[in-house]
Amino acid sequence: MVINGVEIENTFAEAFGMRATRVIITAHSLAWAHHAARAMTGFATSVIACGCEAGIERSLEPNESPDGRPGVSVLLFAMSTKELTKQLERRVGQCVLTAPSSAVFAGIEEGEKLPLGKSLRFFGDGHQISKVIGGRRYWRVPVMDGEFIAQETTGMVKAVGGGNFLVLAESQAQALAACEAAIVAMRAVPNVIMPFPGGVVRSGSKVGSKYKALGASTNDAFCPTLRGNPGSQVPEGVEAVLEIVIDGLTAADVATAMHAGIQAAAALGAANGVRRISAGNYGGKLGQFHFKLHEVMGQ
């Protein structure tokens, strides 16, 4: 399959079942909501060592947020309910509770409930106040700039993590340009995040390592400087490979984001040095979800 001179490889991305939740952070201004959201989603690129994968889904207009203030929607993904609960509590407690003027609300109402204000309220040291408004419980915790408002719980759903595609380009600059275009298109897709810095990862990994202590190591098959090695998948003329990883609330959301991203990257075409779109998998044996690139792109 070829789009605009860019080969779409006949392979698939392998993704995994995860647990996810969404929280809405509001604040005095969109800038302060983003400060809180960026802190909360920092160091959340990969479950390998961060505990969760998290990102900003989108900004919310005042008329879209629960308290009529500017807000940000944040998605968190983890491998288990227990880990998601822990990460949510830590990150909201350390990054949102601490952010001036912020408040936090559930972004998903259905599913199993994860504690939000339910555990953070104890910061109030007995001065916290519960309010049930419209059938939902909120906690008012006194803080130095007024009150921190936190909804008692947020909902958790089963989700999909690790959808991905690789962009193979003639130079690092051209690979970056393609990925930047892809990320712009993918950020318009709801229910997904691209958790790596700027949405893009350059250190794709394979399972295992020659060093016993490491569970994952560099994806040498896609390292251009190792092109001469047997098993290298880097074609002649390709000097940079970048990966975009997608976590979504459903497989359909991940597929939609992959389609948008690949379409945008391929739109730059061979003329801009984009040579091939591939995907990362583990032979299909580890992940429950397979996203075949040709199916995702509608062929």
Partner 1 sequence: MTLVLTLKTQPPGRVDMSPLVPERVAGLAVKAITSVMLECGGRRISAGELFSVSGDDCSRMVIEGGSERLDRIGQDMKQGEISVRGDAGAYLGRGMRGGTVTVAGSAGAYCASGMKNGVIRIAGNAGDFLAAALPGEHRGMQGGTVLVQGNAGDRLGDRMRRGVVLVEGRCGDYCASRMGAGTIAVIGPAGSGLGFAMRRGSVILDHPADLPPTFADFGTHDLGFLRLLHGAWRSSLPGSRFAAIGDDAVRVRRFIGDLANGGKGEVLVRA
Q: Using the minimum distance from each CB to partner 1, give the nearer residue, 73 or 278.
A: 73
Under the binding rule (CB under 8 A), the answer on residue 294 touching partner 1 is: no
* Of the candidate residues 49, 132, 144, 213, the single one contacting partner 1 (CB under 8 A): 132
Decide if residue 259 touches partner 1 (CB under 8 A). no
Q: Which stretch binds partner 1 (CB under 8 A): 65-73, 182-190, 197-205, 206-214?
A: 65-73
Q: Which amino acid is at 211?
A: Y
Q: Where are the beta strands (DSSP E) in the chain?
A: 2-3, 6-8, 12-26, 53-60, 71-78, 103-106, 112-115, 129-133, 136-143, 146-151, 153-169, 192-193, 205-207, 216-218, 240-248, 274-278, 289-292
How many other CB atoms are found less than 10 A from the CB of residue 119? 18
Q: Shortest approach of partner 1 to residue 151 CB, angstroms? A: 9
Query: What is the distance between the alpha carbons of residues 187 and 55, in angstroms, rounded to a whole number?
Result: 11
Does 61 contact partner 1 by CB under 8 A? no
Q: Which of 146, 208, 215, 235 binds partner 1 (CB under 8 A)?
A: 146
69 binds partner 1 (CB under 8 A): yes
Q: Give the CB-side neighbour count of residue 16, counting CA atoms within 13 A.
A: 18
Return the closest-CA partner of residue 69 out of 28, 99, 102, 104.
28
Nearer to partner 1, 140 or 187 (CB): 140
Q: CB of 106 within 8 A of CB of 155?
A: yes
Using CB under 8 A as the binding rule, whether residue 130 contacts partner 1 is answered as yes
Is the CB of 63 or the CB of 213 nearer to partner 1? Answer: 63
CA distances in angstroms from 255 to 3, 115, 162, 242, 291, listed in the order given? 17, 30, 11, 18, 7
Q: How many residues bind partner 1 (CB under 8 A)?
A: 17
- Smallest separation (angstroms) from partner 1 to the CB of 126: 8
Q: What are phi and psi of 145, to 5 degrees?
A: -110, 15
248 lines the binding site for partner 1 (CB under 8 A):
no
Instruction: Assess 147 for contact with partner 1 (CB under 8 A).
Output: yes
| Options 31, 49, 133, 213; binder of partner 1; rule CB under 8 A | 133
Give me the residues that bind partner 1 (CB under 8 A), please: 66-69, 103, 127, 129-134, 138, 140, 146-147, 149
